[in-house]
Structure 1
Amino acid sequence: MAAHLRLNFIDGKWVPAESGQTRENVNPADFSDVIGEFAESGGVDIDHAVDAAAVALPAWRQLGPIRRGTHLTEASRILGERAEEVAAAITREQGKLLSEARGEVSRARAILDFTAGQARLLGGVTAPAEEERTFAYTFRKPIGVVGLVSPWNFPLAIPMWKVAPALLSGCTAVLKPSPLTPLTSALLVEVLQQAGVPDGVVNLVQGDVAAGEALVANPAVAGISFTGSLPVGTAIHAGGARRLLRTQLELGGKNALIVCDDADIGRAVDAVLHGAFGQAGQRCSATSRAVVDTRVRDEFLDRLVARVSDLRVGPGNDPASEICPVVNTARLEAALTAVTRAQRDGGKVLCGGGREIREDLPEGCYVQPTVIRDVPWDSELAQEEVFGPVLAVVDADGFDQAMTIANSVKYGMSGTIFTASQSRAFEAIDRFEAGMLHVNRPGVGAYAHLPHVGSKASQYGPPECSPEVWDFYTEWHSACISH
């Protein structure tokens, strides 16, 4: 790893934090593998980055969306050339399987390609005028400097679906990634630099809470796009409210997969395996609840537990691994605590439930994939996000009760149903209080050109990965010209 990737990237230069402080980045699959000491930044570093972005803003806006889009197209090409390098970095610092990391790189490229294709569509409309010899039209302007705060679970794709539209819209940006995945973010910025994005247009500031709070508080920042937990998102929104800071918040999920009495049980089990245990359950759209009709519950559980019990937990770079580690010890302890509390509330652990320890495993953050049955619909495990490989199985007496249980949580990220009934499927789509809906398929993942959006406490502001994202990064104007 090149030494400069451990630094901040401000105004086209790789620089250390002003304080000189650093934070250790460790491989969650092997605690003996120290990836490096990365900059631990504060308010002064954020201010330098925001100043650089403000200076770069006029020229970048003047460039126009079509020419700005060429930089995104070039970035996609370069990312393709460096795909294996970037995927390996994702696996090493985030922990996910190398196959999952490669998929994330492909999704990031798809986001760049989709966003670049919007360049010729980013316009307004002409409108009838009430007066003679008058021309009336609408157009968009970038809102200015934006702060982009991204999480660790998709350390390339999520920053990319913020950075790409920010740049195409004409905004300049300060990216503040999770301190758990600094290397991937540095590689992203390096790719953009190689693609010819001018100095100051994209700035990277590594760090934790101090850097994030300073970004939200800086008066020159016109908007904050954040992906992460509900408490932090709420704090960002409240912190910027006094100055009417524009916010775009993608928050948590407690997603249900409904298994009806007429479901294809084999397909439903496959979908739960992918949705609940892929990436060790560390996705906002992860299937964390299976709401199962009691008529098919026993068959479903027998087939599911047999499959889950055979899953091999291991390092992401081991081709034999099927479940990766969680990202750090805090997530490991959170998963184990969730299991203990579920048992307190009457849940019965059918498989897993503890830390995965084997002689062939290095010391790391390995959690056994866990299935818990008899989980009360209103218990903590059925209501609160775990962000780990722990599945709650909740009984339902028929379709109506299953829908009621699915909608009983404060979140509304994803909703899934397995049924042979077309009418029931469309009724579920109408009744789900969730943003991303699936029928007879896994409840995670979406195309790069479909909105990544939630409802209720899962989302605030325009959705990402969609044309609607321009309503965050730009503002509308109207003009009337008489002659």
Structure 2
Amino acid sequence: MSQHLRLNFVDGLWARAESGLTRENVNPADFSDVLGEFAESGGVDADRAVDAAAAALPAWRALGPIKRAAHLTEAGRLLAERAEEVAAAITREQGKLLKEARGEVQRALAVLEFTAGQARTLGGVTVPAEDDRTFAYTFRRPIGVVGLVTPWNFPLAIPMWKVAPALLSGCTAVLKPSPLTPLTSALLVEVFQQAGLPDGVLNLVQGDVAAGEALVANPAVAGISFTGSLGVGTAIHTGGAHRLLRTQLELGGKNAVVVCDDADLDKAVDAVVHGAFGQAGQRCSATSRAVVDVRVRDRFLDLLVARVAGLRVGPGDDPASQLCPVVNTVRRDAALAAIAGAQRDGGKVLCGGGPEERPDLPEGCYVQPTVIRDVPWDSELAQEEVFGPVLAVVDADGFDDAIRIANSVKYGMSGTVFTASQARAFEAVERFEAGMLHVNRPGVGAYAHLPHVGAKASQYGPPECSPEVFDFYTEWHSACIGY
């Protein structure tokens, strides 16, 4: 690994944090594998990055979207060439299975391709004027310097779906990734550097709370796009409210799959296994609740437990592994605490329930895939995000009761229904209080050109991905020209 990848990237140069402080980056699958010491930045570093972005803004804005898109296209070409290298880095520092990491690289490439294609449509409309000899139209302008604060669970795809539209819009940016996944973000920035991006247009500040708070407080930052927890997102929004800071917040999820009494149970089980245990449940759209009609519950559980109990837990780079570790000991302990709390509330563990400990496993953050039945709909496990391989199974007495339970949480990221009834399918889509809806398919993710968006406490501000994302990075203007 190049030593410069452990540094910040400000105004076209790789540099240490002003304080000289670093943070150790450790493989969650093997604590003996240390990737290195990465910059631990503070407010001074963030402010310098903002200054660089502000200085680069006029020339970048003047370049125009079509020429800006050429940099995105070149970055996509370079990322495709380095796909295996980047996927290996994701697996090593985040822990996910290598096939999942490869899928994340492909998602990032799809986002780049889609975003670059928007360059020729990123305009406004002409409208009739009320006055004679007047030309009336609308157009967009970039909002300015933006702070992009990203999580560890998708360390390439989520930064990419912020960086790409920000740059195409004509904004300049400071990327502040999670301190748990600094290498992947450095590789992303390096790709854009190699693509010829002008100095200062995209800056990287590694670190944690201090750097993030400085971005929120800096008056030159026009907007913050954040993906992460509800608590941090609320703090960002309220912290910038006094200066009308624009925010785009994608927050938590407590997503339900509703399994009706007429569902294809084999397909439902396939979807739940993928949604609940893919990436060890560490997705905002992960399936964390299966709300199952009591008439089919026992058959569903027999099929589900047989599948889940057979999942092999192991390192992401082991082809035999089917479930990866969680990202660190904090998430491991939180998952185990959630399981213990569910048992106190009356839940019954059907499989899993503890750390995965085998002689062949290195010391790491391994949690057994866990299914818990008889979970009360209003208990903590059924209401609060776990972000681990833990599935709550909640009984429902019919379709209406299932929808009520699905909507009982404060979040609204994803909603899924399995049913053979066309009427129920459309009614579920209508009644689910969630941003991304699925019928008879896994309830995770969306396409690069569809809005990635939640409802209720899962989202504030415009969606990510899709053409609607530009409503965050640009502001509308209207003009009337007399002639």
TM-score range, shorter chain: over 0.9
The equivalent residue for 1:451 is: 451
How far the C-alpha of 1:481 sits from its partner, in A, is 1.1
Matched to 1:32, the amino acid is S
Matched to 1:271, the amino acid is A
Distance 1:46 1:13 in 2: 14
Matched to 2:361, the amino acid is L
Q: SS at 2:304's partner residue?
A: helix
The equivalent residue for 1:219 is: 219
Distance 1:131 1:379 in 2: 62
How far the C-alpha of 1:130 sits from its partner, in A, is 1.8
Matched to 2:202, the amino acid is V
Does residue 176 (structure 1) correspond to residue 176 (structure 2)? The answer is yes
Q: What TM-score do you get using the length of structure 1 for normalisation?
A: 1.00
- Deviation above 4 Å: which 4+ runs of structure 1? none
The equivalent residue for 2:145 is: 145
The equivalent residue for 1:377 is: 377
Matched to 2:121, the amino acid is L
Q: SS at 1:242's partner residue?
A: helix
Distance 1:9 1:110 in 2: 25
Does residue 442 (structure 1) correspond to residue 442 (structure 2)? The answer is yes
The equivalent residue for 2:165 is: 165
How far the C-alpha of 1:480 sits from its partner, in A, is 1.1
The equivalent residue for 2:94 is: 94
Matched to 1:456, the amino acid is K
The equivalent residue for 1:265 is: 265
Matched to 1:173, the amino acid is A
The equivalent residue for 1:316 is: 316
1:109-148 aligned at under 5 Å gives the runs 109-148=109-148
Range moving further from structure 2, 130-139 or 40-49: 130-139
Matched to 1:473, the amino acid is Y
Q: SS at 1:35's partner residue?
A: strand
- Alpha-carbon deviations, 1:121-156, whole Å to 9, x = none? 000111111222211111100000000000000000
Distance 1:315 1:15 in 2: 32
Matched to 2:37, the amino acid is E
Distance 2:355 2:244 in 1: 45
The equivalent residue for 1:32 is: 32
- Alpha-carbon deviations, 1:78-117, whole Å to 9, x = none? 1000000000000000000000000000000000000000
The equivalent residue for 2:473 is: 473
1:270-419 aligned at under 5 Å gives the runs 270-419=270-419
The equivalent residue for 1:107 is: 107
Among the aligned pairs, what percent are the same residue?
86
The equivalent residue for 1:82 is: 82
Gaps of 5+ in 2: none
Distance 2:263 2:287 in 1: 17
Length, aligned pairs only: 483
Q: SS at 1:314's partner residue?
A: coil
Distance 2:378 2:63 in 1: 54
How far the C-alpha of 1:466 sits from its partner, in A, is 1.0
Distance 1:379 1:320 in 2: 35
The equivalent residue for 2:431 is: 431
Distance 2:337 2:348 in 1: 14
Gaps of 5+ in 1: none
Distance 2:261 2:291 in 1: 11
Distance 2:81 2:101 in 1: 15
- Alpha-carbon deviations, 1:177-236, whole Å to 9, x = none? 000000000000000011111100000000000000001000000000000000000000
Distance 1:33 1:191 in 2: 25
Distance 1:370 1:360 in 2: 21
Matched to 1:471, the amino acid is D
How far the C-alpha of 1:445 sits from its partner, in A, is 1.8
Q: SS at 2:409's partner residue?
A: coil
Q: SS at 1:57's partner residue?
A: helix
Range moving further from structure 2, 463-472 or 323-332: 463-472
Distance 2:372 2:39 in 1: 41
How far the C-alpha of 1:26 sits from its partner, in A, is 0.1
How far the C-alpha of 1:450 sits from its partner, in A, is 0.5
Distance 2:409 2:332 in 1: 23
Matched to 1:60, the amino acid is W
- Alpha-carbon deviations, 1:249-272, whole Å to 9, x = none? 000000000110000000000000
How far the C-alpha of 1:350 sits from its partner, in A, is 0.3
The equivalent residue for 1:255 is: 255
- Alpha-carbon deviations, 1:416-462, whole Å to 9, x = none? 00000000000000000000000000000211111000000000000
How far the C-alpha of 1:296 sits from its partner, in A, is 0.4
Q: SS at 1:158's partner residue?
A: helix
Matched to 2:56, the amino acid is A
